Amino acid sequence: MSEATSRRAVLGWTGAGVVLGAAAAGGAVTVLKGDTGSDTQNAASAGAAVEFHGTHQAGIVTPVQDRLHFASFDITTDDRDELVQLLKDWTAAAERMSKGQAVGEGAVGGLAEAPPDDTGEALGLQPSRLTLTVGFGPGLFDKDGKDRFGLKKYRPEALVDLPKFAGDALDTRRSGGDLCVQACADDPQVAVHAIRNLARIGFGKVAIRWSQLGFGKTSSTTPEAQTPRNLMGFKDGTHNVAGSDKSAQTKHVWVSDSDGPDWLAGGSYLVARRIRMHIETWDRTSLGEQEQIFGRTKGEGAPLGKKHERDTPNFKAMKDDAHVRLAHPDNSGVTILRRGYSFTDGTDGLGRLEAGLFFLAYMRDVRSGFIPLQKRLSATDALNEYIQHVGSAVYAVPPGVVKSGDWWGRALFEAAAAAAAAAAEGK
C-alpha cells in the first residue's frame, strides 16, 4: 500500500489528473481536489470513485488507471427487446460498481436458497477509480448479412471493418465482437469483478468471445505525470492527447454533432489490437539499436539528439524507419488518444513469454485515424521485426449516460424503434 501511494505522489495524478479527467467526462468526482502531493491526500484519494455519468463515457480521457480487464462479446439473442433490457441492466450494474457498490441485491444477506446477485470478490474494496466503457462492434448492426435488430442503417460509416495490414497474424478467436466493455481500475480485482458480473448478467443474451487482462498502463493522458514504460522498456505515450486538452479532444477524439450519425454524437471509436512482442529477441538487441528503432533514448525518453523527454523531436536525427518518426502526429498527420496496457499471458509453449501491448486507442474517425497510421507503420516501421498483431477489433463507442434513467445506447435503440413504429404506420 505504501509503495502505491509513493508512486501516486510521483505520478501526481491525485488532484489535478482525476479532476480534469472527470471534468472532461462531464461529471463530478468524489475525490479530493487540488494536488498537494502529500501522502495523506494521496492515500485518501487512492481508490476514489470516478463519476459514471456524463456527456462522454468515463474511461476515455479519465487519467489512466493501473489495470485493465477488457471483454468482447458476441450477441446470442435475436430479440431486440432482450438486448435493450440487457443494456439497461448493464448500465444499472455499471453505475453501482463505479461507486464501489455491489450489483443487484448484493453479495450476501439474501435468501439462502438463491445464488447472490453479486459475486462478492469486491466486497470491502474501494471503488478504485473503476470506469466501465461500452462499445458497439459492426456485428451489432449487420451480422453475416443479417440485420438482426433493425440497426443496419444506423451503422456509422466510419465503423468500417479494418483492412488487413502487412504482417497481421490475427487469431479470429481473439478478434472482433459485437459488444465490448473496457473495465479499468487501479485494483485488478475490481476490474475483474466488473467484467465477471456483467458477463453473468449477460448469460443467455451475450456470450464472452475473448477477454484480456492488462497490467501496467502504457500511454498516459496526464502529461504532468511520469510517462509509464511498455514491456520493451521504453516510455510510452510521451506525446498523447491530454485529459486536460479539450480542444484536441474535440478535434481528434469526440464524434461531433455534424459527423453523424446522430446517436453517436459525443461518442468515439475504439480500436483494440493485441500486439505480441518478441521480447526475447528484443532483449538480445543492443541498446543503440533499440534507441534507433524507437527514435528516443531509453532512459530519459528524449528524442534522439535532444536532452529531455518533452523536447520537440528533430525527426532528421532519427532513422527513416524509426517508430516515433513514422507515428508522430506531425509526420503521420494522425492524432489518436492512446490508452493501452501491457500484458503477459503465460508462455507460448516454446519457452518464451506471451507478452506485449494490448493497444487501445480512441479516435473521432477510424478512416482518418488508426487505418492510415497502421498502413504507414506496417509497411516500414523498424519495430515490426519485434512485434506481431495477433488480435484486432473495432467498435463505435456511444456517448455518455447522462443521468439515472438513461442507459448505454439509448439514442441508437430509440431512433431505431421510432423508425420501426413510423414504418408500421405505413409512412
Partner 1 sequence: MPAVRMSAVTAAGIAVAVTAVTGCAEKADADAAGSNAVTVISTDSKCEVSKTTFAAGKITISAQNKGSKVTEVYVYTPSDKIVTERENIGPGTKATITAEIKAGSYEIACKPGMKGDGIRQKITVTGKGAVKTDPRLDAAVAAYRKWVQAEADATIPLVKKFAASIEAGDIEAAKAEFAPSRVGWERTEPVAESFGDIDPLTDTRADGLDPGQKWTGWHRLEKSLWQDKKITATDKTLAAQLVTDLEDWQKRVGKAEITATSMANGAKELLDEVATGKVTGEEDRYSHTDLSDFYANVEGAEKAYELLKTVAAENDPALVTELDKQFASIKKLLDTYRKGDGWVSYDTVDKTQQKKLSDAVNSLAEPLSKLAAAVAK
Binding residues for partner 1, rule: CB under 8 A, are: 76, 111, 113-115, 200, 203-204, 207
CB of 207 to partner 1, least distance (A): 4
DSSP symbols for 58-109: TTSSSPPPSEEEEEEEEE----HHHHHHHHHHHHHHHHHHHTTPPSTT-SSS
CB of 388 to partner 1, least distance (A): 22
Which letter, b or e, does each residue of 127-141 get, where b requires 16 or more Cβ atoms within 10 Å of its Cβ? bbbbbbbbbbbbbbb
Nearer to partner 1, 102 or 411 (CB): 102
Q: How far apart are CA 69 and CA 188, in angstroms?
A: 8
Q: In the structure grid, which three cell numbers stand for residue 267, read together?
A: 461518442
Q: How far apart are CA 369 and CA 96, in angstroms?
A: 34
Nearer to partner 1, 181 or 232 (CB): 181
Nearer to partner 1, 203 or 215 (CB): 203
Nearer to partner 1, 3 or 113 (CB): 113
CB of 113 to partner 1, least distance (A): 4
Q: Which of 43, 56, 51 is nearest to 14 (CA)?
A: 43
CB of 89 to partner 1, least distance (A): 13
DSSP 48: -
Angle formed by the axes of helices 80-98 and 188-202, to 10°?
Answer: 160
Nearer to partner 1, 73 or 395 (CB): 73
Q: Which of 137, 142, 376, 399 is nearest to 268 (CA)?
A: 399
Nearer to partner 1, 74 or 224 (CB): 74
CB of 148 to partner 1, least distance (A): 16
CB of 109 to partner 1, least distance (A): 14
